[in-house]
Amino acid sequence: MDIEALRRDTPGCAHRVHLNNAGAGLLSGQTLRAMTAHLELEAAIGGYEAAEQERGRIEAAYEAVAELVGGRRRDIALFDNSTHAWNAAFYSLPFRPGDRILTGRAEYGSSVLAYLQIARRTGAEVAVVPNDESGQLDTAALAEMIDERTRLVGIAHVPTGGGLVNPATEIGRITRAAGVPFLLDATQSVGQFPVNVAELGCDLLTGTGRKFLRGPRGIGFLWVNPEILGFLDPAVAEIEAAVWDGGSGYVWREGARRFETWEKNYATVLGLGAAVRQALDLGLDAIGARALALGARLRERLSELPGVTTHDLGRERCAIVTAAVAGLPAEEVAAALRRQGINVTTTTPEYNQFDQADRGVHPLVRLSPHYYTTEEELDRAVAAVAALATAAR
Ligand SMILES: *Cc1c(COP(=O)(O)O)cnc(C)c1O
C-alpha cells in the first residue's frame, strides 16, 4: 500500500490525527467524488432519472458488499445504518415463551435493548455466555449452554467499547453443529480485517458504511444466508419488500431485498460502493495486517506510560484501543486531545451494558487508528497522552 498516496487522497488527513475510525473513518477522495457526482447528477436531471441512469453502478455497490463478505448480491440488503440492518434480521425471527437467545458480554447497546424487548414481548429468555479468562467469549461455555430451546446466538464480532475480537469462527462451528441461527454483528470488523461468511459460519451478518469501511454515514447492510431466508418473517411488508398479489395477499421479493424499504439515498449507496471497492482493491489482508499492527503498537506504547492503563480484552485484538489515565476522566482526556487536533472518543457505559456490569471500567478513552494512520501520528498521540498523564499525577 502506498500510504502517502492514500493520505493525499484523504482530505481529513491534512487537518487531523484521526484516531476515531471506530466512530467514523475518513472518506477517501474517491468515495467523496462518487457521492458528489451523484448529487450533482440528481440536481441536473432529477432524482429518479439519476437513479435510472446509474442503475448499473447502484447494483455494483451491492455486488461489492457481497464480495466483501463472501456472499452473493441477492443475499445483501441495504439500510440506513447497521442497527436497522440488525433489527431487520432479529425482528424477523419467530420467538415463543421458553425460547432462548444466547448472547455475549461484548454485545452492543441497541442489541441488548432489542433482546430485552423481545423477551418481554414473547416470553423468550436471554442468557449471556460468560467470557473466558482472556476476556473473549467462552466457547466451551457456549457449547454447554446451547440446547434445543436455543433459537438464536447473537454475538458482536468486535465490540464498540474495546479491542477484543471474539472467536467468531469457533462460535460458528458450534451453532452449525447445533443447527441454531447465528447473527453476527460485524459493524466494527468489516473494513478492518477480512470477514467471510462461509469461514465464520454465520447465518446473518450486519455492517455499517462509516466505520472501518470509510464509507459515508447513514448506510448499513445485512447479509442473509439464503438457506434460512424462507424461515424468516420480515417485520415490515412494504412496496420494496413485497408485491401485492391483486387480492388479499402479497409475495415477498426475491432474496434479501425483502427486508429493504423503497426510498434510498443513492449518493450514499454509491459512496458505500466506492468505499468497499477501494477496500477490496487494497486487499483486506493488507488492510488488516497494517491496522492490527498499528493497534498493537499504540496499545503497547500507551500501556508503558506511567499512569496509563489499557483495557482491551481477549486473545486476539484489533485496531481499537481503550485506555484510562489515572486522575483524569476519559471525557477530559478526549477533549484535551481534540484541542490538539487528535480525534478520539470515549466509550459509553450504557452502550456496553454487560461489559460495564462485569468490569465497571467505562467510560474509557477509545483510540482507533486505521491503515492510513502513520507511525508518526501514533507517536504524536502517545506523547500527548503522556503529557496529560504526567500533569495529572
Ligand atoms: C456502531 C455499532 C453498531 C451500530 O451501527 P450503526 O451503523 O450506528 O447503527 C452496532 N454494533 C457495534 C459493535 C457498533 O460498534
DSSP conformation class of 254: S
Ligand 1 centre distance from Cα of residue 186 (Å): 9
- Helix orientation angle between 266-282 and 29-45, rounded to the nearest 10 degrees: 150
Pocket test for ligand 1, best of 20, 78, 83 (most atoms within 8 A of CB): 83
- Between the CA of 208 and the centroid of ligand 1 the distance, in Å, is 7
Residue numbers of the domain that contains 138: 29-281
User: What single-letter amino acid sits at 141?
Assistant: A
Which one-letter DSSP state was computed for residue 11?
Answer: G
What CA–CA distance (Å, rounded) separates 185 from 323?
23
Pocket test for ligand 1, best of 65, 87, 183, 188 (most atoms within 8 A of CB): 188
Atom 2 of ligand 1, nearest CA residue: 187
Asked if residue 194 and residue 276 are part of one domain, the reply reads: yes
Backbone angles phi, psi at 165, to 5 degrees: -115, 115
**Beta partners for residue 131, in sequence order:** 137
Q: Is the CB of 188 under 6 A from ligand 1?
A: yes
Q: Determine if ligand 1 sits within 6 Å of the CB of residue 220.
A: yes
Determine the pLDDT at residue 349: 95
Task: Return the pLDDT at 93.
Answer: 97
Question: Are 215 and 101 members of one domain?
Answer: yes
User: Are residues 311 and 356 located together in one domain of the fold?
Assistant: yes
- How far does the centroid of ligand 1 lie from the alpha carbon of residue 83, in Å? 6
Could you tell me if residue 145 is inside a domain?
yes
How far apart are the C-alpha atoms of 311 and 299, rounded to whole Å?
9
Point out the domain boundary residue: 253, 281, 309: 281
Cβ proximity of 102 and 145 under 8 Å: yes
Q: What beta strand segments (E) does 15-149 contain?
A: 17-18, 76-79, 100-104, 125-129
Residues 189 and 318: beta-carbon distance below 8 Å: yes
Total domain count for the chain?
Answer: 2
User: Do 82 and 92 share a domain, yes or no?
Assistant: yes
> What's the pLDDT score for residue 207?
98
**What's the longest Cα–Cα distance across the chain?**
74
CA dist 250 and 28 (Å) reads 42
User: Which cell numbers hold the place of 350?
Assistant: 450504557
Q: For 182-202, b where at least 16 C-beta lie within 10 A, e where not — what string? A: bbbbbbbbbbbbbbebeebbb
d(CA 160, CA 366): 9
Asked if residue 146 belongs to a domain, the reply is yes
Same domain, 15 and 73: no
In a domain, 302, yes or no: yes
Determine contact, residues 163/312, Cβ cutoff 8 Å: yes
pLDDT, tens digit (0-9, with 9 covering 90-100), for 209-223: 999 999 999 999 999
CATH code of the domain in which 81 resides: 3.40.640.10
143 Cβ contact partners less than 8 Å away, ≥ 6 residues apart: 174
CATH number for the domain harbouring residue 288:
3.90.1150.10
**Residue 107 in contact with ligand 1 by CB distance below 6 A:** no
Find the 68 Cα to ligand 1 centroid distance in Å: 18
Q: Which atom of ligand 1 is nearest to the CA of 210?
A: 7
**85 CA distance to ligand 1 middle (Å):** 10
156 CB within 6 A, ligand 1: yes
- On whether the CB atoms of residues 146 and 180 are closer than 8 A, the answer is yes
Domain match, 261 and 341 both: no
- Provide the pLDDT for residue 218: 98
189 and 207 in a common domain = yes
What is residue 137's predicted lDDT score, i.e. its pLDDT?
98
| Residue that has been written with the C-alpha cell 507517536 in this structure | 379
Work out which ligand 1 atom sits closest to the CA atom of 158. 13
Q: In what helix (H) or strand (E) does residue 260 lie, and over which residues does it extend?
A: none
- Sorted by sequence, the CB contacts under 8 Å of residue 242 that are 6+ apart come out as 234, 250, 251, 252, 253, 258
Residues 255 and 305 in one domain: no
State whether the beta carbon of 82 lies less than 6 angstroms from ligand 1. Answer: yes
Q: Residue 367's closest CA among 349, 385, 353, 355?
A: 385
Residues 287 and 277 in one domain: no
Per-residue pLDDT at 242: 96
Nearest to 130 by CA among 144, 120, 118: 144
Of 257, 281, 305, which residue is a domain's last?
Answer: 281
Please give the distance of CA 360 from its chain centroid, rounded to a whole number.
23
The answer to whether residues 274 and 319 belong to one domain is: no
Q: How far is the CA of 52 from the centre of ligand 1 (A)?
A: 31
Q: At what angle do helices 330-339 and 375-392 cross, to 10 degrees?
A: 130
Backbone CA torsion sign across 82, 21, 332, 359: positive
Burial class (CB in 10 A: 0-12, 13-18, 19+), 357: exposed
Which of 80, 90, 187 has most ligand 1 atoms within 8 Å of its beta carbon, as the pocket-test mutant? Answer: 187
Q: For the whole model, what pTM was predicted?
A: 0.98
Q: Which residues of the chain are under the pLDDT cut of 50?
A: none
> Is 244 in the same domain as 323?
no
Distance of alpha carbon 161 from alpha carbon 134, whole angstroms: 16
Asked, for residue 24, whether it belongs to a domain, the answer is: no
Could you tell me if 72 and 143 lie in one domain?
Answer: yes
Residue where a domain stops, chosen among 230, 259, 281: 281
Torsion of CA 15, 348, 159, 315, to 10 degrees: 90
Euclidean distance between CA atoms 205 and 216, whole angstroms: 19
Instruction: Confirm whether 349 is domain-assigned.
Output: yes
Check pocket membership of 192 for ligand 1, CB cut-off 6 A. no
Take residue 186 and report the three cell numbers written for it.
Answer: 460485524
